[in-house]
Structure formats: C-alpha cells, structure tokens
Amino acid sequence: MSSENPPSSLWGHDVLEAHGHRLTASRRAILAALSNQASHLNPTQILEVARRQHARLNLASLYRNLTLFTRLGLVRPLYMGESQPQYIRNDQPHHHAICVRCNIILDFDECAASGLEKLVAGRYGFQSSSHLLEIYGVCQSCQAKPAV
C-alpha cells in the first residue's frame, strides 16, 4: 500500500516517544550531535555541533536535555580529567585506553566485564545495564617524548 510509514530510524526518537517526551527541534539536534558512536563531546562542544542544525539552541536547554537523556539511559557522562564531562552514547559497553599525558583515547571492542556483571548480579542482586572500562597509562607516542 501507499501509506507505508518509513521507519523513523533516528537514534533515540523512539525512546523519547515511548516515555511520552516531545520530539522538539532542540532534542533532535542534540541527539544528532551525539548519535555518532565515536563522538566524545562536552556540553560546550555539543552546543556548537547541535547549533549547526538548530541555531537557536540554548545552553540551558542543552543541560536540561542531557540530564533527561542520561536518566533515560540514552547517553552517559564520562569524566576524562578535563573540566567538563564528555557525553557518549550509552548503547553498549565502552572500553577505552586513556593516555594520562595527552588524553588521547583508544577505543577497543574486546569485553572482559560480562563475567563480572554476572558476579555482582549473583552476589549483590545488582541488575546491571552496561559498564565502562577505562585503562589509564601512556600511549606509544608519548612514551617517545621526554617526560614532563
């Protein structure tokens, strides 16, 4: 038939709808800015990116929505030693190796924590939804530089 609805596959829209939240231009723009799996952006950077799509976006609304999205489990703040947290998608576990000198972040996919999720479930009755693993150290190129 001709009335087929194209699946609105934009990330997060379904979750907002399912919880009765409105799909506003601000929210679309923020979600779009965060939708890239690889992006690690702080609020100021998110504002900048999202404004390319919705120029009137305001920092106050951004903060309100980051809080909402975090509560809904769409995103998660990461503290990487900078002044502001960086927000990332909360789709799947994240595994980083972070260089303590230059702050470069290496992502990798291997996961070692699913066993531990079962362990805390069994021992503490803790119902885990995702996890974050950060390995701290010095990256290859910083090892070559003289120490600070």
Partner DNA sequence: CTAACTGCAAATAATTTGCAGCCGT
Partner DNA sequence: ACGGCTGCAAATTATTTGCAGTTAG
Q: Kindly list the residues in this chain that would bind DNA in the complex (CB under 7 A).
A: 17, 20-27, 42-44, 54, 56-61, 63-65, 67, 83-85
In Å, what is the CA distance from 72 to each residue of 17, 84, 88, 133?
A: 11, 21, 13, 21
Q: Which of 68, 123, 146, 147 binds its own copies (CB under 8 A)?
A: 123
β-pair type (105-107, 94-99): antiparallel
Closest approach of Cβ 39 to its own copies, in Å?
A: 17
Nearer CB in complex with DNA: 59/135 = 59
Is the CA virtual torsion 30, 90, 99, 86 positive or negative? positive
Nearer CB in complex with its own copies: 10/100 = 100
Closest approach of Cβ 82 to DNA, in Å?
A: 8
Residue 100 burial by CB count (10 A; 0-12/13-18/19+): exposed, middle or buried?
exposed
Closest approach of Cβ 69 to its own copies, in Å?
A: 13
Q: Which of 23, 39, 49, 117 binds its own copies (CB under 8 A)?
A: 117
Nearer CB in complex with its own copies: 6/115 = 115
Residues 6+ apart with CB under 8 A from 87: 34, 40, 41, 42, 43, 46, 66, 70, 75, 76, 77, 78
Closest approach of Cβ 126 to DNA, in Å?
A: 26
Q: Which of 10, 36, 52, 79 binds its own copies (CB under 8 A)?
A: 79
Interacting partner of 43 out of its own copies, DNA, none (Cβ under 5 to 8 A depending on kind): DNA
Residues 6+ apart with CB under 8 A from 129: 73
